[in-house]
Amino acid sequence: MMHRVLDSISLITICIVLATAETPRAHGQQTSVAINVTNLGSGNVVLIPANDPTFEPAAVALSADPIITQLKPFIAVVWNKSDEEVAAFSISWTVFLNNLHDVTTVNFMYPDSVTKVAFPVNSRNNPLPPHATRLLAMPYDLSIWLAPQGSIETIRAASVRQHRQYADATQLNIDVSCVLFVSGKLEGHDCSELRTKFSAYLSAKQALYKAIVSNVDSGLSVDQAFASSEALVSTPPPIVRPSAGQEADFGSEYPRLAAEEAIRWKKTSDKNSSDVITTFRRAILDRPFVMSQ
């Protein structure tokens, strides 16, 4: 069994790897795959798989791109049926083939949501609103790639490789492993990893906001306040190719990813750079964010 754990914030790197990595040669055309879904007992967040009669209308409501058909069966709609915004969630995809199974768990994390501050629209950091739906495709948030700044061709190439790799698959299990709401409430049976990674990502963002605001308060210009963040992201991250049986570890990348997002928000506010500082100042939490299950 291979079990990899990925973070949605590193999806660009992951998808480039998927689109370029060598995969096992397929032994034949992909046969029909049985799809099973396990949702949380509360029913607050549910998955609609590709074999569900309601999948097509739900997917088309989100996108009419032909990639939806190409990605089947490794695609699903996630639906937040609760009255509360979702700050993070974990989805596990288990593919059964050749008497083996391959497990991929993806953590989708949106730490800025717990600040209750309205940040500029950014598809890589959009929490899941109450009663909203979103397209997921193993192992990524498809809305990122369908957005204007996305690269859907990368997903098309990755999908071709994915279908070759899993050409002999007979069964696909998709599970909602854990959900974190903005109130701090956790639901799920295996939330330890999501709790740890979300805390690390939130801490990296909070530390960055405090540093930038402090720099401005000390008399530096906005550009000067962002200088260390610009330096941090000036070198592209390495493409990680985990060895067989190993997981990609992006934990050390949270400060860099936080800096990347802060710089993007600054660029959207360049005509009034004080706006981004005001946003960061308001986003600094006055008490620790507590998660409970």
Q: Encode the chain (293 residues) as per-residue pLDDT tens digits.
A: 555 566 665 444 344 344 434 333 333 334 489 999 999 999 999 999 999 999 999 999 998 888 899 999 999 999 999 999 999 999 999 999 878 888 888 999 999 999 988 776 555 678 999 999 999 999 888 877 776 666 778 888 888 999 999 999 999 999 999 999 999 999 998 788 899 999 999 999 999 999 999 999 999 999 999 999 999 999 777 665 555 445 545 557 899 999 998 998 888 776 567 788 999 999 999 999 999 98
Residue 157, φ and ψ in degrees, nearest 5: -65, -40
Q: What is the dihedral of CA 15, 101, 28, 19, to 10 degrees?
A: 10
Please state the domain extents for the chain. 2-188, 192-283
HSE, CB side, 13 Å, CA atoms: give it for residue 12.
12
Residue 49, φ and ψ in degrees, nearest 5: -80, 170
* DSSP 8-state class, residue 83: S
Strand order of the β-sheet with 133-137 is: 45-49, 75-80, 133-137, 140-141
The CA distance from 264 to 123, in Å, is: 12
